Amino acid sequence: MEKQKLATRVGQIAPFQVMAVLARAKQLEAQGDDVIHLEIGEPDFVAVDAVGDAGVSAIQEGKTGYTSATGLPELKKAISEDYLRRYQVDVSPERIIITPGASGALLLMASLMVNAGDEVLMPDPCYPCNRHFLTQVGAMATLVDTDAKNGFELSLQKLAGYWSEKTSGLWLASPSNPTGAVLSRAYIEEAWQKVRSLGGHLLVDEIYQGLVYEGEDFSALSVADDIFVINSFSKYFAMTGWRLGWIVVPEWAIEGATKLAQNLFISAPSVSQYAAVRAFNADVLAECEARRQTLNARRRVLLDGLRELGLPVVAPAHGAFYVYVDVSGITQDAMTWCLALLEQEKVALTPGADFGVKDAHKYVRFAYTCDEERLKQALARIERFIECK
């Protein structure tokens, strides 16, 4: 019998380097070491109790079947009302397609707007899975060089130069993973105007929306109805494992997106959807706001500590829960440095190579997803590590 082979696209996907860090961290913990985890892009909170309780009730009441493909009408309505209340933007519920996480939304977006052979521009560094969603549809990501001096912002002046007849669109994220940088309204306006004149689509991944500490927390939907926007319950609502997100599409794309949602997922998880309806009540939003303030306090501790250590933060860390740090003053290889730091001082970080190509060996990402005390301990351990090198 012929030997069975994996599809070639599987070979094109590089495993995350942080997995090696994580695997070693687990071994160290199994042997009793106290590892401080600053590598994981996941809040250290769980869903607010009222939301969890709503999920339990949904199970008890047997609300566990498929929902309509684009999501529960009451959830779509709640999201629509939230856009109006918090971001003063009118988004009709019909334009909101509920998906299994932002991941599901990204796959739907690639399937909806990108043809095989197309290219999509995105900044280097950015969220690594974007590239692979494009691979699934036979397309390709083109990582655009950015400059650390400009906070890794993709230069819109140079956009036309990167655009080719194969380019389908531009994918941005604000706040950004891995840098925490927040794009300004003026930037999104200019990006939209340029992308439109080049005949492409613009996607803004707003999965860290709400987690903004400096600058304007706005939605790209307030700039134009024809911009595609992705969001999720994973980060602001701390519901990573509930696997629930959404995409907002323009009116003209609703029918196509609905067909894809039906075929790709049938529906997003029903229990999660019933729980998520509760997330937009004032008490839950107040708790999420308190958490945002907690994250902001941690961010300040981390930024102060890094400054004292002389480690440059290379992008304005104004949002999400990440800080992107230049370690090239102490190492030529961030991945090896991360592994040595873990081995010696039991602090886990994510190497820059997981997010980009250009100069990635210079950078590491810190996630401030542990409390201030632990962050201070981590900084003290890093200081000791640097000093004894």
The residues that touch ligand PLP, with contacts defined as CB under 6 A, are 41, 101-103, 127, 173, 177, 205, 207, 232, 234, 240, 245
Q: Are 239 and 206 in contact (CB under 8 A)?
A: no
Amino acid at 149: K
124 versus 205: smaller Cβ distance to ligand PLP: 205
35 versus 239: smaller Cβ distance to ligand PLP: 239
Min dist. Cβ of residue 234 to ligand PLP (A): 4
113 versus 382: smaller Cβ distance to ligand PLP: 113
205 versus 345: smaller Cβ distance to ligand PLP: 205
171 versus 213: smaller Cβ distance to ligand PLP: 171
Which of these, 341, 342, 299, lies nearest to 324 by C-alpha position?
A: 299
State the residue number with the nearest CB to ligand PLP. 101
Min dist. Cβ of residue 245 to ligand PLP (A): 4
245 versus 305: smaller Cβ distance to ligand PLP: 245
Q: Are 36 and 381 in contact (CB under 8 A)?
A: yes
Q: Are 111 and 264 in contact (CB under 8 A)?
A: yes
Min dist. Cβ of residue 236 to ligand PLP (A): 11
Give the distance from CA 194 to its chain's centroid: 24
Q: Token pair of 320, please?
A: 């999400």
Q: Token pair of 368, please?
A: 């401030």
Min dist. Cβ of residue 101 to ligand PLP (A): 3
Which one-letter DSSP state was computed for residue 69? T
Which of these, 228, 180, 187, lies nearest to 41 by C-alpha position?
A: 180
Whole-angstrom distance, CA of residue 260 vs CA of residue 112: 7
Min dist. Cβ of residue 272 to ligand PLP (A): 11
Whole-angstrom distance, CA of residue 323 vs CA of residue 317: 6
| Total residue count of the chain as it appears in this document | 389
80 versus 209: smaller Cβ distance to ligand PLP: 209
Min dist. Cβ of residue 126 to ligand PLP (A): 8
Long-range interactions of 31-34: CB distance < 8 A, separation 24+: 33/346, 34/346
Inter-axis angle of helices 270-277 and 49-60, nearest 10: 130
Min dist. Cβ of residue 238 to ligand PLP (A): 11
101 versus 352: smaller Cβ distance to ligand PLP: 101
Residue 287 backbone phi and psi in degrees, to 5 = -65, -40
Whole-angstrom distance, CA of residue 261 vs CA of residue 266: 6
Min dist. Cβ of residue 124 to ligand PLP (A): 14
